[in-house]
Amino acid sequence: MSQITDLTLAQLKQALDDGDLSSVEITTAFLDRIDSLNPELNAFITITHEDARKAAADADAARAKGKASAFAGLPIAHKDLFCTDGTRTTCGSKMLADFVAPYDAHVVSRCQQAGLISLGKLNMDEFAMGSSNENSFFGAVRNPWDPSRVPGGSSGGSAAAVAARMTPLATATDTGGSIRQPAALTGTSGLKPTYGRVSRFGMIAFASSLDQGGLIAHTAEDIALGLGLIAGHDPRDSTSADQAVPDYTATLSDPLKGKVIGLPTQFFDERLDPAMRQSMNDVLDVFRSLGATTVEVSLDHIAEAIPAYYVIAPAEASSNLSRFDGVRFGYRAEHPKDLTDLYERSRGEGFGGEVKRRILIGTYALSEGYYDAYYKKAQQIRRLIKQDFERALNQCDLLFGPTTPSTAFVIGEKTADPIAMYLEDIYTVATNMAGLPGGSFQAPLIDGLPSGYQLTGPAFGEGAILNAAHQIQTATDWHTLRPESL
Amino acid sequence: MYEAVIGLEVHVQLSTVSKIFSGSSTAFGAEPNTQASLVDLGMPGVLPVPNARAFEMAVKFGLAIDAEIGKESVFDRKNYFYPDLPKGYQISQFDKPIVGPGRVAITLDDGTIKTINVTRAHLEEDAGKSVHDAFDGMTGVDLNRAGTPLLEIVSEPELRSAKEAVAYLKVIHSIIRYLDISDGNMAQGSMRCDCNVSIRPQGSEVLGTRTEIKNVNSFRFVEKAINTEIHRQIEILEDGGRVIQETRLYDPDKDETRSMRSKEEANDYRYFPDPDLLPVMIDDSFIEACRNTLPELPEARQARYIKDYGITDYDAGVLVADRDVADYFAEVADTSGEGKLAANWVMGSVLAELNQTGSVITEFPVSAKQLADLISRIKDNTLNSKTAKTVFEALLAGEGEVNAIIEAKGLVQMTDTGAIEAIVDEVIQENPDQVANYRSAPSDKQGKMLGFFVGQVMKKSQGKANPQAVNQILHSKLGS
């Protein structure tokens, strides 16, 4: 048997069920690997050794009595914006560096109920704002494939931790590409479910109408297992969908014969990097070899997605982040002169640069006299984008394209140019604007670095996305490639 | 001559058991921050979940004022920083309120009815409270009230005097009490009023610059605050000055309004639809279900009382203003079978007593059944108006039931004409001069002079003689 930490969630579950491995063995293996790699990669902000070890022992005991729940004793780690009762939740910010929530996020409690053991809390761009994980108060996360490069963001810690085999499964969130882009840059699988599929309760908000919790893992199969646990209606989130959760693993093996893959012309125009085009063509060849056909479709308003997104997301963020005022929780400036000073310095000292930039943009966009020109206009564009996707998905089963314009870039390369950074999400933001499910899965390496392809499905079409990705993963070995240095 | 232009924004605290977006209790008076949940505290990651009861109450109010109900009700965020506003925004409604244009009728002093248009009414959450006197040199924050549902009712600027404003406010108060959607307790802040006031030359169609007087908390203060503000504005204009658009506070101790903040200092609230809450779709069946639970409203009840009890417009209006008083009156009238007498007693003795003690009818010591008994005994001539008053006071003092009191105090009215005749004879004998005067007086003066003899007879009978019988007997005896 290969190393424990190389195994997928499904393989680990099998080994536990078969009695080949104990939860203590598994947990210890992952904790040891975290301890050895985290100092360099910085994927974890908090590692919960003791809690995890105790839970592992408990899980083994329960399993011995035949009383264990289905996922008892299997490891997971949570992006540090899912609130965890008793363990700090920092959101990658100085503002919440010492914040301990008195409650668990819905996603966290679902995982816990299923028996999953949390290894700790994962690094991220501050308040999920960023595409490189360089905007963390706790320092940049490094890409396991090349530590001089970024892992993508904002779920950079989640992606790096899975890629480096520090955990087989990680929760993550995606507001404009924050699951898919880092998954693509680290050679992992990532799924952003349909808006409303996973409850946002206890997930610290960036942009409420776009935020969605999801997962990063090695395979589509592992995501199918995990999604079954965290998806479903939650009365504590009014925007959570009251819709039955299918067994996502049951459809993984469905044949792709006859499936129609839509290729948005805007994703394949002359601007697409030739190496990335080659990578995408390699994936498409596999789709065709499995009996799927392709059809060109058009997403007419896709060019407007980034500008509209950078009005809507900051607008919502400017309001969502108002609660961090130094009054009830989080960072509080010392010796405030008066109330205004308390507000100004708590926020001025507690938030990082990118967060402040977006609060300013959002505040401006919502201001009297600008609302119609910015926020309202952006919402109109959002509706047009949604219609584009509906039309396109009427002509095919799934949309296909690159997840990112290029492979992982070098740390510091784009920090001085926010627009260049924002364009990292050029292929991903539209999916959030339309509220649709999107996944990124491993494509061939380009010059030794991972690339990812993106599948977008109709609302609640997570099963179809995972099925297609699983079929590709069954036919190829891109998802099994590992960073050589580790 | 100036004309005042007044519009009111009335905040009504809805009497739901739990808050509008969380499960915490709305009860008044708990220890600070013991009724504040994670949602009320605005903790990171928590989300609001709307309370259906608040929608029911708002729709009922809308139906009661004949308003359009917003089929798509949208919650917006009103953004501003304040320590008692935990999220940094208040969830309110901006351009898609639950209640659209409606109207209420007010009765003016001269008895004419004036219709006041209601622009809208929307749902929102209340803020917490800053506590300035609990800590030395610091301000505390109590979030028990944060998230309590409010219905903000906005009138058109169609009120023309402080009196009209109060009349409007009383109608709104009456409606919410009838609907049982709020306790309407102004002293506890369950109903608060912002008054928008401007003045303009009589006959002008152009609106003057308005000021907004915030948070006035009694009918009397609304009247005084508006009058004071009208005065202040007239003085400014008369002195050649200009009214500045601003928010002002009324100080009842000094009877003056003071500037709170000017328009320039006003917040830009950056309203936008709350992405945490989907639009609430109100369908016809929900509206019909609300309509079916509507009680009889003050206007309809007034009309019914006029018809059923034969009382005047005015009396019916006074009696129905408060739902509990109206119910009390109806029970008295139905039980005694005497509408007019019941109206006189309730309006005269009962309401006077309530006013004087500042109490409410539900805590009144004389039950409707007791008052009805009292009226029955007046009707059967056991009591006259004087002895009835004595019994009423005994009832107030809790001295027992009507018949027992009459018995104990020996108040049975003397209707035996023989006995009354004997007393009359006595009085005539004892007052020969007055008798002579009476007999020589012209007949139009005699009516007034008769009062003296009636008084004497009543005195001798210890108030128990039937006044009509006394009159009759005196008349015939003195006439001869």
pLDDT digits over B213-224, tens only? 998 999 999 999
**Residue A89 forms contact with B (CB below 8 Å):** yes
Question: A 208-227 residues with CB below 8 A of B?
Answer: 208-209
pLDDT at B480 over 60: no
Q: Does A441 reside within a domain?
A: yes
Sort out which chain A residues have CB atoms less than 8 A from B88's CB and list them.
Answer: 319, 321-323, 325
Confidence of residue B264 (pLDDT cuts 50, 70, 90): low
Q: Is A341 exposed, middle or buried (0-12, 13-18, 19+ CB in 10 A)?
A: middle
Q: Is A107 exposed, middle or buried (0-12, 13-18, 19+ CB in 10 A)?
A: buried
Q: Which residues lie across from B6 on neighbouring strands?
A: B159, B197
ipTM of this predicted structure: 0.95
Q: Above pLDDT 70, what percent of chain B?
A: 99
pLDDT at B260 over 90: no
Q: Is B295 left (phi over 0), alpha (psi -120 to 50) or beta?
A: beta
Minimal Cβ distance to A208: which of B88, B270, B276: B276
Sort out which chain A residues have CB atoms less than 8 A from B42's CB and list them.
Answer: 323, 328
Cβ–Cβ gap A200/B45 under 8 Å: yes
pLDDT at A98 over 50: yes
Residues of chain B with CATH 1.10.10.410: 417-479
Confidence of residue A1 (pLDDT cuts 50, 70, 90): very low
SS3 category, B329:
helix
Cβ–Cβ gap B45/A323 under 8 Å: no
Question: To 10 degrees, the CA torsion angle through A167, A173, A179, A183?
Answer: -10
Cβ–Cβ gap A327/B141 under 8 Å: yes
**Residue B78 forms contact with A (CB below 8 Å):** no
Question: B 390-449 residues with CB below 8 A of A?
Answer: none
SS3 category, A305:
helix
Confidence of residue B188 (pLDDT cuts 50, 70, 90): confident
Sort out which chain A residues have CB atoms less than 8 A from B44's CB and list them.
Answer: 83, 89, 91, 96, 99, 101, 204-205, 323-324, 329-330
Catalytic residue IDs of A = 79, 154, 178
pLDDT at A210 over 90: yes
Quick one: which of A434, A432, A441 has its CA closest to A400?
A: A441
**Predicted local distance difference test score (pLDDT) of residue B434:** 87
Question: What's the CATH fold of domain B417-479?
Answer: Arc Repressor Mutant, subunit A (1.10.10)
Question: A 96-125 residues with CB below 8 A of B?
Answer: 96, 99, 101-103, 105
**Predicted local distance difference test score (pLDDT) of residue B233:** 97
pLDDT for B407-437, tens place per residue? 888 777 777 788 888 888 888 889 888 888 8
Report the distance separating Cα B325 and Cα B305, nearest Å: 13
**DSSP per-residue codes, B358-401:** T--GGG-SS-HHHHHHHHHHHHTTS--HHHHHHHHHHHHTT---
Half-sphere exposure of B101 (CA within 13 A, CB side): 4
Cβ–Cβ gap A368/B270 under 8 Å: yes
| The pair of three-digit structure tokens given for residue B435, joined into one six-digit string | 């008798």
**Residue A278 forms contact with B (CB below 8 Å):** no
Sort out which chain B residues have CB atoms less than 8 A from A315's CB and list them.
Answer: 272
Instruction: Please tell me which residue, B459 or A292, carries the higher pLDDT value.
Output: A292
Report the distance separating Cα B293 and Cα B306, nearest Å: 24
pLDDT at B48 over 90: yes
B89 neighbors B79 (Cβ within 8 angstroms)? yes
pLDDT for A265-285, tens place per residue? 999 999 899 999 999 999 999
Q: Does A297 reside within a domain?
A: no
Mean pLDDT over A334-361 rounds to 96
Tell me the residue range of the domain where A226 lies: 4-259+396-480
Cβ–Cβ gap B276/A102 under 8 Å: no
**Residue A391 forms contact with B (CB below 8 Å):** no
Cβ–Cβ gap B38/A99 under 8 Å: no
Q: Does A355 reside within a domain?
A: no
Size of interface A-B (CB pairs under 8 A): 103
**Residue B277 forms contact with A (CB below 8 Å):** yes
Report the distance separating Cα B240 and Cα A269, nearest Å: 70
**Residue A332 forms contact with B (CB below 8 Å):** no
**Residue A203 forms contact with B (CB below 8 Å):** yes
Q: Measured on CA atoms in the order B388, B392, B397, B398, is the torsion positive or negative?
A: positive
Helix or strand (DSSP H, E) at A190 = strand A189-192
**Residue A201 distance to chain B (closest CA, Å):** 6
**Predicted local distance difference test score (pLDDT) of residue A181:** 98
pLDDT for B393-403, tens place per residue? 999 999 999 98
Q: Give the predicted TM-score (pTM) of the model.
A: 0.89
Report the distance separating Cα A184 and Cα A454, nearest Å: 9
Please provide the average confidence, as pLDDT, over all residues in chain A: 97
CATH number of the CATH domain containing A435: 3.90.1300.10
Q: Above pLDDT 90, what percent of chain B?
A: 71
pLDDT at B27 over 90: no
Q: Does A429 reside within a domain?
A: yes
Q: Measured on CA atoms in the order B339, B345, B350, B352, is the torsion positive or negative?
A: positive
Helix and strand numbers, DSSP H then E, in chain B: 16, 15
Q: Does A313 reside within a domain?
A: no
Mean pLDDT over A441-457 rounds to 98
**Residue A364 forms contact with B (CB below 8 Å):** no
Cβ–Cβ gap B81/A91 under 8 Å: no
pLDDT for A53-86, tens place per residue? 999 999 999 999 999 999 999 999 999 999 999 9
**Residue B87 forms contact with A (CB below 8 Å):** yes
Minimal Cβ distance to A200: which of B41, B47, B272: B47
Looking at the structure of chain A, the number of domains it has is 1
Helix and strand numbers, DSSP H then E, in chain A: 15, 11
Sort out which chain B residues have CB atoms less than 8 A from A208's CB and list them.
Answer: 275-276
Q: Does A346 reside within a domain?
A: no
**Residue A328 forms contact with B (CB below 8 Å):** yes
Half-sphere exposure of A409 (CA within 13 A, CB side): 18
**Predicted local distance difference test score (pLDDT) of residue B415:** 72
Q: Does A312 reside within a domain?
A: no
